[in-house]
């Protein structure tokens, strides 16, 4: 399929070499057709051990962590090489992740690659040392300097929904900060990561062992990576349930843990908003990439007086979005990633019916599509915020609409969630908008359609949506330690 990857199986990058897996290979599936795309290296525990050893050695025995200019050079090399292979990477991403073609020109591929320049710039310009001046604590004159240094070996565990965006959101800042890395991508999208490994090995000066990419069908390798004492930090993106397990594993040796987890974000429509625009945009966005995004607003809170009108606007929008071939330029809603994920979404739709919810539009598999893991964009009405489908992350093209009785009631409903990842607010009165944005407890908020995704903007959540921030200076600093050096000054 691609010259980046051999026709028989995709190798993984360990210790600077492209190698086969100790457990042989495992299949990667096209979720739009259910056909086997090919094979990926299936790592065993010995392969993971070799990768961790390589990362440890590269950090401890080389100047990688101290040579800021060289790291910037390597990151720019990587960006250039990825861009030179962009069409092959695009084909892999559409086929393996089911990502609609149009989104590979943004956050599914080209955007994250371009963001590597931001990481390279930080390596060059970040204030690695801060002079605190001279003081005399306990009567001893001392000159104090604060240094920021790399954490060490980072274990990165990533999901399948936005494989490049999340892989590079970890790889870029972790490397810019001077760390070495062991990346374990999701078993559903091994080729997306393996192709990057080939580019690193063949087209960059990144030293052996600095980046290791371990593909495997065995989820247990993530736990081993998390618990290994040679790993200084775990950076995990995935479900809240798995995040709890990662946190427990990291606690065994008190290593640093960054967690970007689930969401059940609310779009709040105030009574002075353009209802059609607010509802239409929210309904459209929940269908993007079949709703497989943790930061999508999947609860739509509308004024009670406009509830019926909002239902009609949302339903009309969703009826107009047809799940289809992600290779088609006009496709917005592609397939779910797997049969397992489609079964999960269908189970939630049945729960909604059981709990008294009304399926206004969608609610099942598209007629006439016998192959591929597709689900119709779906609107659920007439359920309270306490309903299962309003509280749990579904990860499918499913929108729940809930009426509110004014600004403070909307804030209450939005905050009545174990999550706090993202959301949006729609209205015209600046004072009311500020009142809402001040009180909604969530990590990112869009006001009237504002875009919060950017390389320089921190992303992360409150409550059970995670710990720490990714991207921006805040995300870069997650990968740093702080060292104070005090020298007697006479």
Strand-pair partners of 36: 29
Strand-pair partners of 488: 142
Q: Is 350 a catalytic residue?
A: no
Residue with tokens 């390596």, as numbered in its chain:
123
Give yes or no for a contact between 393 and 383, defined as CB atoms under 8 angstroms apart. Answer: no
Rounded CA separation 23/342 (Å): 28
Q: Pull the structure tokens for residue 406.
A: 């004014």
For 336, phi then psi, to 5°, come to: -70, 160
Rounded CA separation 460/478 (Å): 12
* Dihedral angle of Cα 54, 58, 60, 65, to the nearest 10 degrees: -140
Q: Find how far residue 210's CA is from the centre of its chain.
A: 22
Single out the catalytic residue among 260, 376, 393, 470.
260
Residue with tokens 């078993």, as numbered in its chain:
187
Q: Is 145 exposed, middle or buried (0-12, 13-18, 19+ CB in 10 A)?
A: middle
Which residue spans within 9-162 are E strands per DSSP?
Answer: 12-14, 17-19, 25-29, 36-41, 129-135, 142-150, 153-157
Q: Pull the structure tokens for residue 212.
A: 């290791």
Q: Kind of pairing, strands 256-260 and 466-467?
A: antiparallel
By C-alpha distance, which of 53, 38, 6 is closest to 198?
6
Q: Looking at beta carbons, which pairs linking 88-91 to residues 24 or more positions away fall under 8 Å?
A: 88/2, 88/3, 88/4, 88/195, 89/4, 89/164, 89/192, 89/195, 91/1, 91/2
**CB-CB neighbours of 252 under 10 Å:** 11
**CB-CB neighbours of 5 under 10 Å:** 22
Q: Is 319 exposed, middle or buried (0-12, 13-18, 19+ CB in 10 A)?
A: middle
The catalytic residues are 260
């Amino acid at each position: 399929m691609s010259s980046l990857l051999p026709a028989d199986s995709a190798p993984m990058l360990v210790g600077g070499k492209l190698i086969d897996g100790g457990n042989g290979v495992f299949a990667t599936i096209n979720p739009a057709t259910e056909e086997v795309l090919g094979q990926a290296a299936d790592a065993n525990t010995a392969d993971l051990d070799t990768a961790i050893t390589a990362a440890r050695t590269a950090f401890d025995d080389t100047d990688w962590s101290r040579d800021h200019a060289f790291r910037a050079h390597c990151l720019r090399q990587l960006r250039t090489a990825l861009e030179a292979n962009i069409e092959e990477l695009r084909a892999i991403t559409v086929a393996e992740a089911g990502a609609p073609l149009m989104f590979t020109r943004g956050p599914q591929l080209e955007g994250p690659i371009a963001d590597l320049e931001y990481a390279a710039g930080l390596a060059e310009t970040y204030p690695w040392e801060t002079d605190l001046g001279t003081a005399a604590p306990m009567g001893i004159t001392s000159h104090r300097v604060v240094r920021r240094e790399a954490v060490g070996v980072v274990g990165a565990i990533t999901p399948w929904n936005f494989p490049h965006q999340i892989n590079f959101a970890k790889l870029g800042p972790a490397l810019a900060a001077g760390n070495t890395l062991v990346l374990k991508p999701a078993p559903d999208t091994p080729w997306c990561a393996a192709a990057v490994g080939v580019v690193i090995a063949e087209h960059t000066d990144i030293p052996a062992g600095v980046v290791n990419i371990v593909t495997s069908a065995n989820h247990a390798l993530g736990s081993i990576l998390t618990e290994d004492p040679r790993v200084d930090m775990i950076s995990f993106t995935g479900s809240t349930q798995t995040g709890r397990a990662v946190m427990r594993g990291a606690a065994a040796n008190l290593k640093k843990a960054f967690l970007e987890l689930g969401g059940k974000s609310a779009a709040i429509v105030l009574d002075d908003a353009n209802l059609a625009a607010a509802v239409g945009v929210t309904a459209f966005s929940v269908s993007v990439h079949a709703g497989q995004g943790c930061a999508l607003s999947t609860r739509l809170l509308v004024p009670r007086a406009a509830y019926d009108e909002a239902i009609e606007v949302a339903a009309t929008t969703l009826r107009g979005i047809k799940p289809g071939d992600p290779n088609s330029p006009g496709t917005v809603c592609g397939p779910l990633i797997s049969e397992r994920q489609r079964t999960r979404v269908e189970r939630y739709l049945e729960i909604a019916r059981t709990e008294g919810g009304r399926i206004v539009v969608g609610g099942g598999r598209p007629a006439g599509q016998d192959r591929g893991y597709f689900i119709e964009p779906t609107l659920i009405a007439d359920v309270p915020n306490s309903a299962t489908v309003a509280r749990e992350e579904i990860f499918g093209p499913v929108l729940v609409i809930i009426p509110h009785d004014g600004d403070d009631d909307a804030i209450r409903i939005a905050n009545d969630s174990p999550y706090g990842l993202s959301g949006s607010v729609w209205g015209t009165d600046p004072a009311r908008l500020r009142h809402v944005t001040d009180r909604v407890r969530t990590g990112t908020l869009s006001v009237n359609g504002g875009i919060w995704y950017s390389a320089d903007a921190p992303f992360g959540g409150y409550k059970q949506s995670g710990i720490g921030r990714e991207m921006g200076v805040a995300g870069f600093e997650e990968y740093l330690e702080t060292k104070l050096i005090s020298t007697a000054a006479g």
